[in-house]
Structure formats: structure tokens, C-alpha cells
Structure 1
Amino acid sequence: MAYTEEWVTERARNAYEHGRASFDVRPERTALLVIDMQDEFLRPGWSPYWVPAATRMAPRLRRLAEVCRAASVPVIWTIFDDTHLGLDRPHALRFLPHADGDWRRPGPAEVWAPAGRRPDEIVIRKPSYGAFYDTPLDTVLRNLDRDTVIVTGTLTNYCCGTTARQAYERGYKVVFGSDVTAADDESRQEPELAVLRKGFALVLTAEEITHRLTAAAPAADNEDCSGRDR
């Protein structure tokens, strides 16, 4: 067969727009990652880094977190923070445009209260975009015997997308929430989803994630957390 330019272009386009990863989402092997749903990104008008789309989608994400808790899926939160006096951040960050500005966080970085974090849920403070960079996240997930992560939060095309790629590179099955992530420029949302859909993740809506978790829940009742039959 001769592969024409039109054929390969259409094949790529279909994968970007309609591709679906083929793995199952098993609650007993899954964790929910809630990326950077913190005050400076969610609290309206509080900082120049406010992401209005993240504030609007927060109730939907909160409902998904409740679904996950009911299915015994751990909920793990991250915060983009000033850890180790900033000396653990990639050196080049200071040269990038979004590092400009005089605004400084007036106090400790915290999860935005309306996002609904529970006191017994892990918070990982990270120094860069991806949640696996210089953090214990990989160790935490492996100790929980989880091989699948659901990535939610903000920003879609920075911290969420980078976390999804890092998880993929570490062998995790990645589910990416298409309507429980948000970008500061909403026109950037779908282009990032397209790349993730083609090469890194199973991109699903919160409703689709809920369906997969609840449909799989009865099977999980017959297994322990390592996936073995009781």
C-alpha cells in the first residue's frame, strides 16, 4: 500500500479528535489527582493568576471527588508552592514570561476551601509544573498499589498536561478529565486535550469517568486493594 499524504494526515487528525485509549478504569487500582486547585488560581479576583474557568468547573470536580471517595479511590491534592526557598524549581523558570509581576502570595499556599479537600487527604507541595517532579507522588501511588491516575485541576496545558505526560512516562494509565480541567485561556483547552488524546491519556468527561468507576465498582468488591480475589 502506498501511504498518501492525505491518508496519513486524516489518520492523525482522527486520532487527535476521536482517539480513545483501550484500558479499563478499575477503582481499586485508580487514584484521583487534583492539581493546583489553590487560592491564587481559584479565588475570584484575588491574584493575577486567577483562572476563571477553573472557578466555574470547581463544583463539577468536587462532585467527581465525592464519586471517587464513594468508590474507595484515593483523592490526592497538589499545590504549586514555594518549596525549599525556591531552590528546587527549574532554574529557567525565572526567565519565562509568566514569572513576571510583583504579586506575592500573602501567606501559605493552600487548597481553595470550596474545592472540598478533606483533612485526611494527602496534599503534595510541588516546585514545578508536573506533580512527579521532585515530589513523593510516585512512591505514594505505588504504596497505594495504584497503576491508574485521573488527572484533574488547573492549568490544563501546564501543570495538568505535564503531570499526565510524566505519569505516562512512568508507566501509569492516565485518564484526563476534559471538563474537570481548566486553562487560563480557554482557547488552549481543546488543543491540549487533542495531544493528550492521541498520545498520552484516555480523555473523558466527568460523567464518563463517573460511569466507568461506578460500573466497575461491583467487581472491585470481590478483590482486595492489590487486585487479588479475596
Structure 2
Amino acid sequence: MEFPAWIVDRVLARQGTLHPYPRFDASRTAFVVVDLQNYYTQAGYMGECAPARDTFGKVNELAAALREAGGTVVWVQTSSDGADRFWSHHHAYMLTPERSARRLVELDPSHPGFALAPGLDARREDPRVVKRCYSALVPGSSSLDEVLKARGIETVLIGGTVTNVCCESTARDAMMMNYATVMVEDALSAVTPEEHLHSLHNWMLFFGDVLSVEEVGARLRVG
């Protein structure tokens, strides 16, 4: 994607190059796909982000390329099981009572809303991780860090929905936990184009790289 000159200038001043990772060792790279569940992608659910459906092809494309090169694809799913207790502040103050009750129902693991959306090429060999809040890497949220470390992962590619909430939250924590972290712009979606763009601009300024699926594929080195 094209960045405004003021972003390019600041990134170049900070790190000397616009894109810091010329190659990705596939064997040490994971594509972490966040929240592409029915609840977040399908019509009729409270959490629907309609643009997410348009990213499924790119998500599948990058997943296939990374698997073929010897990398790892991880599917992250949010569960509301017990969230009114362990994430009580969010449910009590950040949601109306009606929205809180609906979230608890539609993201319960027994509800169809929890399932990965149809059209995604999730393979049996791909690890799946269940998270409890926005970031999959905040302490107590999920086993994602353990899954990545067990596979010797050093680079994390982030896709899924929504760009500026769960995806960015997970990506920020990954960067601060010393993973090289890339937001894959055409494998991500937000409710509005403006939210998507603003998130990626801020990410580029301070946290890591932003690349397309094609750009990631050109940098993959078979591991």
C-alpha cells in the first residue's frame, strides 16, 4: 500500500528503511489469523464486520503459500465463555446489558457464532487457539505464545478482523514480546476503510511493517 510522505519520512528517519524485513524464513514464520468466525464475519451477528468476507481469498492464498514453504498457520477464535466474570469490566461498562448478553450467547463455543466462517481453508494440521479478550497475547488470554515458541516462530504475520481492535492488539503485544510482526493489509479488515487505514498508518509509524499478501509471498524463503 502507499503511505503518505510524512509517514515514509518518519519511518525512514527512525529505522533507515521503509520495509525492514527483506526475507522471511518460512520455518520460523506464522500467519496468525484472528477472529474470522461467523460472529465477526456473517450477516445477522452482533459483531459483523462485513468487509471481512472480502478478505477470505487473500487469507487462503497466504495460508497456502506459507504452508507450502514450511511455515505455520494459526487460527485464533474468541470465546465468551465466562467473560462476564474474567472480563467483567468490559461486559459491565463497555457494553449495554443487551449487547453483553448477546455477546455471551453468540461467542459461546457451543454456538454457531464461535465457528470459523465458511470459505476459509483451515486445515486439520493448523493449530487453533482460543482467546478470551482482544489480544491473544496478553497474559491469561490464550496459549498463542506457547504455540509459537514450541514451533520456533520468530516472525508473526497478522490477518483477520478487525484491523484496529483484536488484530492490532495481538500484533502490538507480539512486537513487544520480541516477535518481528507484520500486518498483512489485504488479509485484514475493519468496519470502515478509515479505521483500517488509520490503524495501519499508526502501526507503520511505531510497531512494525505493513505488507500485502503478494509482498509477503515474494519475501518467503523455504525453511
**177, 200, 207: which is aligned to 1:170?**
177
2:33 is the counterpart of 1:28: no
1:46 CA drift (Å): 2.7
Equivalents in 2 of 1:99, 1:15: separation in Å? 43
Instruction: Give the structure 1 partner of residue 45 of structure 2.
Output: 47
- Tell me the amino acid that sits aligned with residue 88 of structure 1: F
- Tell me the amino acid that sits aligned with residue 143 of structure 2: P
What pairs with 1:119-130 in structure 2 (closer than 5 Å)?
119-130=124-135
Equivalents in 2 of 1:27, 1:194: separation in Å? 26
Q: Does the CA-based 8 Å contact 2:75-2:129 persist in structure 1?
A: yes
- Tell me the amino acid that sits aligned with residue 156 of structure 2: V
Q: Does the CA-based 8 Å contact 1:33-1:152 persist in structure 2?
A: yes
Instruction: Give the structure 2 partner of residue 203 of structure 1.
Output: 210
Q: Does the CA-based 8 Å contact 1:131-1:137 persist in structure 2?
A: yes
Q: TM-score, normalised on structure 1?
A: 0.81
Instruction: Give the structure 1 partner of residue 111 of structure 2.
Output: 107
Deviates more, 1:167-176 or 1:105-114: 105-114
Q: Percent identity between the aligned chains?
A: 23
**Aligned partner of residue 124 in structure 1, secondary structure:** strand
- Tell me the amino acid that sits aligned with residue 139 of structure 1: E
Structure 1 residue ranges without an equivalent (≥5): 1-9, 221-230
Change (3 A) 1:70 1:182: same
Q: Which runs of 4+ in 1 moved over 2 A?
A: 10-21, 83-94, 97-104
Count of aligned pairs between the two proteins: 206
Instruction: Give the structure 2 partner of residue 63 of structure 1.
Output: 61
Change (3 A) 1:72 1:99: farther
Equivalents in 1 of 2:192, 2:12: separation in Å? 20
**Aligned partner of residue 177 in structure 1, secondary structure:** strand
Q: Does the CA-based 8 Å contact 1:16-1:194 persist in structure 2?
A: no
Equivalents in 1 of 2:156, 2:125: separation in Å? 19
Structure 2 residue ranges without an equivalent (≥5): none
Q: Does the CA-based 8 Å contact 2:185-2:211 persist in structure 1?
A: yes
Q: Does the CA-based 8 Å contact 2:134-2:170 persist in structure 1?
A: yes
- Tell me the amino acid that sits aligned with residue 111 of structure 1: L
**45, 62, 72: which is aligned to 1:74?**
72
Instruction: Give the structure 2 partner of residue 179 of structure 1.
Output: 186
Deviates more, 1:191-200 or 1:19-28: 19-28
Q: TM-score, normalised on structure 2?
A: 0.83
**Aligned partner of residue 86 in structure 2, secondary structure:** coil
Q: Deviations over 1:33-88 (max 9, x none)?
A: 00000001122x23132111101111111111111111111110111111345433
Change (3 A) 1:11 1:190: closer
Instruction: Give the structure 2 partner of residue 193 of structure 1.
Output: 200
Q: Deviations over 1:163-182 (max 9, x none)?
A: 11000110100011011100
Q: Does the CA-based 8 Å contact 1:176-1:202 persist in structure 2?
A: yes
Equivalents in 2 of 1:64, 1:167: separation in Å? 19
Larger Rg: 1
Change (3 A) 1:130 1:203: same
Q: Does the CA-based 8 Å contact 1:20-1:203 persist in structure 2?
A: no
- Tell me the amino acid that sits aligned with residue 72 of structure 1: G
